[in-house]
Amino acid sequence: MSMLSPKRTKFRKQQKGHTRGIAKGGNEVSFGDFGLQVTEPGYITARQLEAARVAISRSVKKLGKIYIRLFPDRPVTKKPAETRMGTGKGAVEFWVARVKPGRVIFEVEGVDITIAKEAFHRAHHKLPIKTHLISREPSL
């Protein structure tokens, strides 16, 4: 699987905006048994997401299934080095997913907690924000 990015968008470039508040949705384990939950706001690039996914899949191997609950849908632009001010906005360099505290970014199923813990610990090192492991709530 190559890096994630949208096939097409309505607009080529986006403004920065803010990452205030907590996650409105996607904040509980829905598909797997254990999830990796974000505890601070920030951006996760497509490359970081892919690196974390590879780290998880190496731990989980063929035993379990991995769910990616995030998609990098925001373009980030950069201007060339040593360019004077003005002359408009730079070209799109990479894609990011904006995350807020509470957002679940990965889920695994079919593995026990020790493997899930190890997998998410490895993935955590690939990401620029703090995360922790959560498990599915017992269904009533």
**Percent of the chain's residues with pLDDT above 70:** 97
The amino acid occupying position 99 is V
Domain positions in the chain are 34-80+89-135
> Tokens 């904040």 sit at which residue?
27
Which pLDDT does position 108 carry in this prediction?
95
> Is residue 20's pLDDT more than 80?
yes
Mean pLDDT of 88-95: 94
Q: Read off the DSSP letter of residue 94.
A: E
- What is the pTM assigned to this prediction? 0.89
Token pair of 83 as six digits: 């360019």
Q: What residues contact residue 84 under an 8 Å CB cut-off, 6+ apart? A: none
The Cα 125–Cα 112 span in angstroms is 21
Helix-then-strand count for the chain, H and E: 2, 7
Tens-place pLDDT, residues 43-63: 999 999 999 999 999 999 888
Q: What does pLDDT average to over the chain?
A: 92
- Partners of 123 in the β-ladder: none
Q: What's the chain's Rg over C-alpha atoms?
A: 17
Query: Domain 34-80+89-135 sits in which CATH superfamily?
Result: Ribosomal protein L16/L10 (3.90.1170.10)
> Is residue 120's pLDDT more than 90?
yes
